[in-house]
Chains A and B, each alone.
Chain A
Amino acid sequence: MKHNGFWLWLGIALALPAGMAMAGPAPDAPQAPTATRWMFIPASSFVPRSSNSIYDYHSGACVSAATGVTLVHKLLPPNGANLRYMRLYYLDNSGATRMSGFVSSYDAAGTLTDLTQVRSSNRGDYSSSLSPAINHIVDRVDTNYAINLRFESDSDSIFVDSFETAPTMRFCGVRMMWDE
């Protein structure tokens, strides 16, 4: 039996696109990761969570605030992105105070989920700390996201009013990393 190459190739050419379309993801499905992105947010663009919070600007976009103050910034990665890490930039020169950064998600019905937390370390100079891996697939349909930064004191540190003031920490920024 003699085969004609033309008909074989034509069959392949017609069948391949249809097969690829059937095997591909649904239009509203998250796409496979294609690239790593970073979003570097200067601390000066964070806003206080409460209007009565006191915060001060320092050089280089760094911000200081009293213990207990929380600053916040919206986080808008594309739907389907895989959140990987958050790096916190700061100046922390005391073991008595620290700051914590959170990647938080909300369902807009009062439920909060912290996807990761990273704390500053007393390193005596400007430094940064990397969060544990997050590995969260962004769902912008049912969830909204924010980065929260809280100025804290260690629980066993007491600053005597009028005699001792808490050392000043500076929050300088956050860098988010995700895969698209």
Chain B
Amino acid sequence: MNVRLSIHPLCLAAVLALALPAAAQAIDGPNGPPSFDPALMQFQAESTNDAATPLATDSYYFIPASAFNRIQSNTETTYVAGGCIRITGGFRFATTDMQIPTGSSIYGLRVYYKDTDASNMVRGWITTYDGNSVYDELVAVESEVSVGHGSKYLGVTPRPIVDNFAHAYSIDIGQTGSSASTAFCGARVFYSTP
């Protein structure tokens, strides 16, 4: 018995009807445009650092200061309020590991702080390590004297591509001065997923 197979136009329409819902889901899925909220204003402001980068791939890695750990045991820290800490003595550094996907582009680092004294400063870095004591500082941000709480963003040029096979990454914070005029409140890495 010979069976002749041919694609009928109605058959093509049926297949398309089955496929279209999947296509619509992709458009409206997680990569769709985010809904408007006040935070989006700042999101877009930093996104304009690279107009060629699709907005949907922009992401943040935002860590409160209170979740950073002392870089060595003699480092002294004091919790202030609202996730802010003050590094008051010893080896005055705090650190946290940075885990963002391989292939991501790092745009820059924003450090949040309270700094009302020109003699005090909060400084933040993104650092890479190869596990054999070799390190590289990708970006360093220093606080500026401001009234109350403030933040400062610094971009990285050229933008490093994250490689979690070859490198470990950390965000490190140092503080000079221990008066009540200075506190570290958090760090936010701006990056684009692959």
Task: Indicate whether A and B interact.
Answer: yes
Provide the bound-state CA to CA distance between A41 and B99, in Å.
8
Shortest CB distance A81–B (Å): 14
> Is A5 an interface residue when CB atoms closer than 8 A count as contact?
yes
A47 surroundings in chain B (CB, below 8 A): 69
Confirm or deny: A84 has a beta carbon within 8 angstroms of a beta carbon on chain B.
no
| Contact call A37/B168, Cβ cutoff below 8 A | no
With a cutoff of 8 Å between Cβ atoms, the chain A residues found around residue B172 in the complex are: 44
Contact A9 B5 (CB under 8 A): yes
Q: Which residues of B contact A39 (CB under 8 A)?
A: 99, 164
Q: Total interface residues on B, using CB and 8 Å?
A: 39
A163 touches B (CB below 8 Å) = no
From B3, B96, B129, B134, name the one whose CB has the most chain A CB atoms within 10 angstroms.
Answer: B129
Would B73 and A55 count as touching, CB distance under 8 A? yes
Distance (whole angstroms) from the CB of A30 to the closest CB of chain B: 20
The number of residue pairs between A and B whose CB atoms lie closer than 8 Å in the complex comes to 112
Tell me the complex Cα distance, A45–B135, Å.
15
Nearest residue, chain A, Cβ from B91: A57
Residues of B within 8 A of A73 (CB): 97
Q: Which of A5, A13, A38, A56 contacts B15 (CB 8 A)?
A: A13
Q: Which B residues are in CB contact (< 8 Å) with A55? A: 72-73
How distant is the Cα of A53 from the Cα of B5 in the complex, in angstroms? 76
Once the chains are docked, how many angstroms separate the CA of A14 from the CA of B19? 11
Interface stretch among A58-66, A92-100, A101-109? Answer: A58-66
Contacts of A38 in B (CB 8 A): 102, 164-165
Number of interface residues of A (CB under 8 A): 42
A45's contact among B4, B134, B166, B170, by CB below 8 Å, is which? Answer: B170
* A45: nearest chain-B partner, CB-CB: B97
Chain B positions within 8 Å of A10 at CB level: 8, 10-11, 14
Interface digits, A47-87 against B, CB 8 Å rule (1 contact, 0 not)? 11000011111111111000000000100000000000001
Closest to B95 in A: A44
**Interchain CB contact (< 8 A) of B8 among A9, A58, A175:** A9
Contact yes or no, B73 A61, CB < 8 A: no
Given contacts A39-B99, A45-B69, 20 further A-B pairs with CB under 8 A are: A6-B6, A6-B10, A6-B11, A14-B14, A38-B165, A40-B165, A40-B168, A42-B95, A42-B168, A44-B95, A45-B97, A56-B73, A57-B72, A57-B91, A59-B135, A61-B170, A73-B97, A126-B131, A126-B132, A175-B131
